[in-house]
Structure 1
């Protein structure tokens, strides 16, 4: 089983080493990590070259800035493994046995087209954030209404991907990953789910959905219209999942660390949530 990882990097020097180190430390070795630098102006190319010199599985090159989805599209075309995972340069894998879990699953389920695991969420300082993931087996109806599956926790059969031309819609400025996952799940016949946490999704102020011309709120409206789902229902489910995640994480902090830690974290969440609302997401 050859596992390919794909990343589009733009000015990613702050978090990129965390991602690559989470791959270096895997108990099951990756076949390749294809990273395209999308015209970075920081020292991202120097970081990539240093890792490529040290680790043969790191393949990278640079082109002029084209945007995230065209860059990922190009990287996907270059993949030569059996399964792939697309992970952002500011995310990372949750534990050292993620690839081993994926390889064992496909060994036991060779007809599978998709394997999805849980996603952990954190802020830029590494503090845990409430999860949208309801810990349910994937639901085609639910995924059309709320983007609770992150592609850093999603492994896809490469032949299945190419045979069905399941690539990113390059007309979408944001939320193209949600659109891509919806189409994956509506096409696949053999979908696996693992309660194992595969990816860590990092929330920070410089994410594309916060800084692009199209806000994530507008992007969600576009996706719900495209896939004939209800934006009102989508917003309601998303809010319920956020509150559920806040309750579960808050209860865990209160139980393990006490009231003072709980109050500090609640203040942090409220501050970040107000900032998110101001950015329209």
Structure 2
């Protein structure tokens, strides 16, 4: 929902979720969300699909209509004004890619989240 609720024009952006052959209730949840958000598109990979994340992105890339593509992991949370902050950066002639700062929201919570925070400090 976070990515479908960004403040940008009249919802003039697409959100693609790649379902990498989930075996839980993810397909049903995504179908419900598609009814709620017109900009949400879902691509369900076949059980035979290979290539991991890069393979999934390569399958969806030909379907994307936009000029700017952002890639997020499933647990990403972004501020509602993200597109207003990032899109203008692409107006500069020499800008072809932008990486935004990432952080662990619950870093002090436990051993695993502390480890993730330490890993990101090295990025």
In the other structure, the counterpart of 2:104 is 121
In the other structure, the counterpart of 1:80 is 65
More contact order relative to length (CA 8 Å, sep ≥ 6): 2
- State the 1:115 CA deviation: 1.5
The verdict on how the C-alpha distance between 1:118 and 1:269 changes in structure 2, with shifts beyond 3 A counting, is same
**Residue segments in structure 2 that go unaligned for 5+ positions in a row:** 116-123
- State the 1:110 CA deviation: 4.5
In the other structure, the counterpart of 2:38 is 56
Q: How does 1:98-177 map to 2 (within 5 A)?
A: 98-107=82-91, 109-122=92-105, 127-128=106-107
CA RMSD of aligned residues (A): 2.4
Greater percentage in strand: 1
Determine if contact 2:34/2:41 at 8 Å carries over to the other structure.
Answer: yes
- State the 1:34 CA deviation: 1.6
The verdict on how the C-alpha distance between 1:271 and 1:86 changes in structure 2, with shifts beyond 3 A counting, is closer
Runs of 4+ in 1 over 3 A off after TM superposition: 268-273
In the other structure, the counterpart of 2:6 is 26
**Residue segments in structure 1 that go unaligned for 5+ positions in a row:** 1-20, 130-264, 274-281
Partner deviation per Cα, 1:219-253 (whole Å, 9 max, x = no partner): xxxxxxxxxxxxxxxxxxxxxxxxxxxxxxxxxxx
Partner deviation per Cα, 1:16-63 (whole Å, 9 max, x = no partner): xxxxx2223211135111222121101111111111112111111323
- TM-score, L = length of structure 1: 0.35
Q: Which has the larger radius of gyration?
A: 1
Determine the C-alpha separation between the residues in 2 that align with 1:270 and 1:92.
Answer: 18
- Number of equivalences: 110
Determine the C-alpha separation between the residues in 1 that align with 2:99 and 2:67.
Answer: 16
- TM-score, L = length of structure 2: 0.74
Determine if contact 2:21/2:44 at 8 Å carries over to the other structure.
Answer: yes
Other structure's SS at 2:61 match: helix
